[in-house]
Amino acid sequence: MRGMGWLIACAALAAGEYAASFFPWMAEAWPLTAALAVAVALAGYGFAWRGWHLVFLFALGVSMFLFASVESELNFRIRPWMRKASVQRREAAAHVASARSAPAPLRRELSRRVAMGLDRDRDVAALNRAMLLGERRRLPPQMRRTFVESGTIHVFAISGLHVMAVAGMLYWLLRLAFVPLRVAGVAALPALWAYVWVVGLPPSAVRAATMATFYFAAPFFWRRPDATQAWALTFFIVYLGDPAKICDVGCALSFAVMLAILLALECGKSIGGARAKALLVTFAAWAAGAPIAAHVFGRVTPGSLLANLALLPAATVTVVSGAAGLMASFVSETAAAHLNNLAALFTKAMAGVASAVARLPGANLETGPWPTWACLLWYAALISLLAAARRWRLRREYARSVLGATRPVKS
């Protein structure tokens, strides 16, 4: 699998930062761990030791985390996912992002355009605004509770789903305008980052836009786009830039779910049928995020596995049609109203599915916080399942190639 070396390198860095998070009292010793990382790099490269770069990345992760926690080591709590310092940094970053986001008058104007043609149904207009612009505060309390209980409230967080849908739409619009393939991806990036700026620069959207930047810019530099490498480069930028992110739940969920989707798509290349692939991707995304949510919140939502089968495609259509309606509103309000109503049709379907799933018995379970070892066992089983699926795919492709080579040629 292409990019596997990148994934192992990311795992080594994350393991080092996570291990260091248990020993904040060693923060003053960061020069020693940094010197150890340099020594490992020099010795490993000089003597050609196998795997030296993984040890180097582990030591680098330790030293980076300790260096970042020198001044705030007394604020750390015992559990690495519930750090006070991490919360303070996140709140400060959110304040800075809010100050740099689009002006309030512009956001209000865009919010008005997203709801064109939906004057008679304020709840549906609120759903459209929440889906496209992340205005979750407009959701009615009962509707918000329904999505929380069904484990699908994540569709309203501006994240990889929204950014990738908008990026794909912009890319294909440029291709329809006969923009060359090599340039189309780069040409779509300014509009994509403008969208992220308008919605307030949420961290999940910034991460997704960074990954999209690496992916769509590759053809411009005569390189083949690789989603796994784009994910890994984004991972390194985030965790080297702010090692405390290793304790951030939202960051962990974003990277884990996106990686699971990429691996599932890679392993399911030979699976026939869109339904089977959708089921595989949905299961992988749920399985990747379930242990983190259970470890932090003590809650498991099996119902979301069923709900996401319908909600994720519907959310993609909603975001694409809503974004198209927003752009069309500057040309024709009638066209914008039609596109907004198309988005509203799917948001209504999403609300109906979420309500039906929330009423199912066992859709939302209180389990208590999972211990770390249980999460590790879960991920070990998930990785084993993905490896088995990959081996099955490779054997199937090999069998097809052998049968194709031995098949008699008709004269």
Q: Given this model, what pLDDT does residue 279 score? A: 79
Per-residue confidence (pLDDT) for residue 270, from 0 to 100: 61
Asked if pLDDT for residue 93 goes beyond 70, the answer is: no
Q: Among 112, 123, 121, which Cα is nearest to 325's?
A: 112
Residue in this structure with the two tokens 């319908």, named with its chain if needed: 310
> What tens digit of pLDDT does each residue of 109-158 get?
888 888 888 877 788 888 888 888 888 777 788 888 888 777 777 777 77
Query: Which of 139-153, 156-170, 198-212, 386-400 is the least confident region?
Result: 386-400
Amino acid at 110: L
Please calculate the CA angle 335-341-342 and round it to the nearest 5 degrees: 90
Q: Are 127 and 143 in contact (CB under 8 A)?
A: yes
Instruction: Look at residue 274 in the predicted model and tell me its pLDDT.
Output: 66
Of the candidates 280, 267, 277, 237, the residue with the CA atom closest to the CA atom of residue 255: 237
| Strand (E) or helix (H) holding 265 | helix 249-267
Question: Using one digit for the tens of pLDDT, what is the confidence trace for 15-27?
Answer: 888 888 888 777 7
Name the percent of the chain lying above pLDDT 90.
Answer: 8
Rounded Cα–Cα distance for residues 312 and 33 (Å): 44
Structure tokens at 247: 């304790």
**pLDDT at residue 273 tops 70:** no
Q: Report the range of poorest mean pLDDT among 8-22, 175-189, 380-394.
A: 380-394
State how far the Cα of 52 lies from the Cα of 204, in Å rounded to an integer.
32
299: helix, coil or strand?
strand
Task: Provide the phi-psi class of 362: left if phi over 0, else alpha when psi is between -120 and 50, else beta.
Answer: left
Mean pLDDT within 386-403: 72
CA distance 330 to 411: 62
Q: How many CB atoms lie within 10 A of CB 239?
A: 22
CA dihedral (142, 145, 151, 152) in degrees, to 10, reads 50
Q: Residue 310: its pLDDT value, please?
A: 79
Q: Per residue in 31-69, pLDDT tens? A: 888 898 899 888 888 887 888 888 999 999 888 888 887
Q: Is the pLDDT of residue 323 over 80?
A: yes
pLDDT at residue 106, rounded to an integer? 81
In the DSSP assignment, the letter for residue 83 is -
Distance, in Å, from the CA atom of 375 to the CA atom of 378, rounded to the nearest integer, reads 5
d(CA 217, CA 181): 11
Predicted pLDDT of residue 190: 93
Q: Is the pLDDT of residue 210 over 90?
A: yes
> What is residue 79's predicted lDDT score, i.e. its pLDDT?
40
Classify residue 34 by burial, with Cβ atoms within 10 Å: 0-12, 13-18, 19+. middle
pLDDT at 72: 54
The predicted-structure confidence for 219-231, as pLDDT tens digits, reads as follows 888 888 888 889 9
CB 33 within 8 A of CB 62: yes
Confidence at residue 84, expressed as pLDDT on a 0 to 100 scale: 46
Cβ-in-10-Å burial (0-12, 13-18, 19+) of 31 comes to: exposed
Torsion of CA 399, 404, 407, 409, to 10 degrees: 180
CA 153/CA 148 separation, integer angstroms: 5
Structure confidence at residue 77 (pLDDT): 41
